[in-house]
Amino acid sequence: MRARRPASPPDPALDPKNPFALVRKNNRGAAILYALNPAARAAGLRRGQTQADALAMIPHLICRPADPEADARALTALAVWAERWSPSVSVDPAGGGLEGLFLDLTGAAHLFGGETAVAAQIRDRLVEAGARAGVAMAPSPGAAWALARWGQGGGEGCIASDETVRSLLAPLPVEALRLDDRTVMQARRFGLKRIGDLYPMPRAGLARRFRDGDGVDLVQRLDQALGFAGEALTPVRPPPKYRAWQAWMEPVGDIEGVEARLTELVADLSAPLVRDGQGAKALTLTGFRSDGGTTSLSVRMGRPGRDAGIWLRLFREAGLGRLELGFGLDALMLTADAVEAMTARQGALETEAEAKQAESLAALIDRLTARLGEDRVLMPEPVESWLPERAERWRPALGRSPTTREDGGGRRPVLLLDPPEPVEAIAELPDGAPARFTWRRLSRRVTRADGPERLSPEWWRPRPDDRQMRTRDYYRVEDDAGGRYWLFREGLYGREYSGAAEERAPSWWMHGVLS
């Protein structure tokens, strides 16, 4: 790791000349070495050794506790960053997924000036981002894994082709085949030290000679390295079908620069969609920072579209300023995350004017959503429920068309107080309409009242506090100032309240204001 600005005395752990190890507890509670720097390896330490043994061998070994979860997070973030070279990047599942990345560069190397150039670029960018890595290119993931770790020159850009992969792998130790320690030990015992030693062995005999099926594993790994057996990798993010991409030499550090490039990207992305008759419903802009991080911004649309101008506008509404540019971006990628056929749109609309109106409404909702967020542009959705506060749910308006309510007959408030607010009320009869009530500290005299409208509790829906829900009697009341309110009494005298001390007396609530 590279220290960016020495503001404090140099940490001896950061000096690559000092042996350094990360330590974690194994399942028996003993501290074991989990990761080593080259100096520690050169001193003869190895992974899995107990810390006590290691310190006995190298007393000046520097140890720090390992944080595998943070490692995994960092590696996944790095994998996303590496999508600048390939849409399909996976985290190496071997070694607990903490060790390496696989980039599928099939058919992509020429975009970066050839295989040698791209390997050098990947290595240089990683060093700039503070990550020293071995880089190798090979026809199979297994061979690339081996060459990146054990290849000539310490994995400094080793490139194998179909013709050379066999000879390049031959001198490497058998560990390079991604084998567990037990298999490696057995192979050693048979005198099989290098991968090349395995080539003349008959496969069936090789597999049989090892214990517990380890040989099958060995053969499988060998075949995977040589490309005889396939190997499925799971990319960190599914590779998008539509993707526009741009990289440049000098990092761009300002929003204007990003916007200028985005203008080109939207046009690049729109063209193939038009060609295929597709439209995008969601777009993500990913910026690749020179420090190894990524930053992204997404916009969503209610209906599929491919108008580059509208996309650009949506990204502006969503706020390009939200992108964290850091020390600058050196690549930008625009992907279509949700793609739909443009022709699949249902033509339920009757006239051209209505279609145009629906179109402009959808565009408005897209724009509002891009700026305010999906949960802040809402449309009501009717719900089958007796309870007034449940009879309507506000859902994101994105992708939905407006609906109107039929007149339900019963008069309902224009503005609903949710949750209802407690009210002090006096009724002439215990189960009658209120004669006077105090709401928000103002006492009001009721001049007219209508009710009750009795709503029974939905016994099949338990309340979160597990209290039995009680009947509500709703009243429309008018006070002497002309205000009209929707009040209810929760709980019935007699049936639900007998006057016993442990029972809650029926109480009054303000649920809404009528016009």
Partner 1 sequence: MTPSPLYAPGVFPERPAPLEEACAAGSGDGAALIAFALSRRLEGDARPVLMTATRAWLGEHGRPYGPGLPGVALILAPVNTAVEALWALEQALRSGAVSLALGAVNAATLTQTRRLDFAAKQGGCVGLVMPRGLDGLSAARRRWRISTLASAVDPDDARAPGPARLTAELVRGRGERPGAWMLEQDDETHRLRLADRLADSGLAAIGHAGASSGLAA
Binding site for partner 1 (CB under 8 A): 357, 360-361, 363-365, 367-368, 371-372, 376-380, 382, 388, 391-392, 394, 397, 402-408, 411-418, 440, 442, 447-450, 476-479, 481-485, 512-515
CA 210 to CA 193: how far, in whole Å? 15
Closest to partner 1 by CB, 221 vs 444, is 444
Q: For 436, how many CA atoms within 13 A lie in the half-sphere containing its CB?
A: 5
Closest to partner 1 by CB, 195 vs 377, is 377
**Residue 54 CB, nearest approach to partner 1 (Å):** 55
| 3-state per-residue secondary structure call for 155-223 | CEEEECCCCCHHHHHCCCEHHHHCCCHHHHHHHHHCCCCEHHHHCCCCHHHHHHHCHHHHHHHHHHHHH
Closest to partner 1 by CB, 357 vs 468, is 357
Q: What are the two backbone dihedrals, phi and then psi, of residue 35, each rounded to the nearest 5 degrees?
A: -150, 145
**Residue 513 CB, nearest approach to partner 1 (Å):** 4
Helices 214-226, 181-189: crossing angle, 10 deg rounding: 90
Instruction: Provide the β-strand partners of residue 422.
Output: 509
**Residue 421 CB, nearest approach to partner 1 (Å):** 9
Closest to partner 1 by CB, 66 vs 377, is 377
CB 183 within 8 A of CB 214: yes
The first and second tokens of residue 168, run together, are: 């390049």
Closest to partner 1 by CB, 52 vs 442, is 442
Comparing CA positions, the residue from 256, 275, 247 lying closest to residue 336 is: 275
User: What region does 61 belong to: left with phi over 0, alpha with psi -120 to 50, or beta?
Assistant: beta
Closest to partner 1 by CB, 212 vs 359, is 359
Closest to partner 1 by CB, 58 vs 514, is 514
Closest to partner 1 by CB, 326 vs 413, is 413
CB 79 within 8 A of CB 100: no
Closest to partner 1 by CB, 359 vs 503, is 359
**Residue 474 CB, nearest approach to partner 1 (Å):** 12
Closest to partner 1 by CB, 320 vs 329, is 320
Comparing CA positions, the residue from 15, 19, 56 lying closest to residue 35 is: 19
Distances in whole angstroms, Cα of residue 1 to Cα of each of 11, 34, 193, 220 = 11, 17, 32, 35
Q: What are the two backbone dihedrals, phi and then psi, of residue 384, each rounded to the nearest 5 degrees?
A: -75, 105
Q: Position of tokens 């009697």?
A: 473
Closest to partner 1 by CB, 179 vs 446, is 446
Distances in whole angstroms, Cα of residue 438 to Cα of each of 118, 422, 505 = 76, 9, 18
Burial class (CB in 10 A: 0-12, 13-18, 19+), 218: buried
**Residue 264 CB, nearest approach to partner 1 (Å):** 26
Q: Determine the residue type at 297.
A: L
The first and second tokens of residue 435, run together, are: 């004669």
Instruction: Provide the β-strand partners of residue 512.
Output: 416, 486
**Residue 471 CB, nearest approach to partner 1 (Å):** 20
Residues 6+ apart with CB under 8 A from 220: 229
Helix (H/G/I), strand (E/B), else coil: 374:
helix
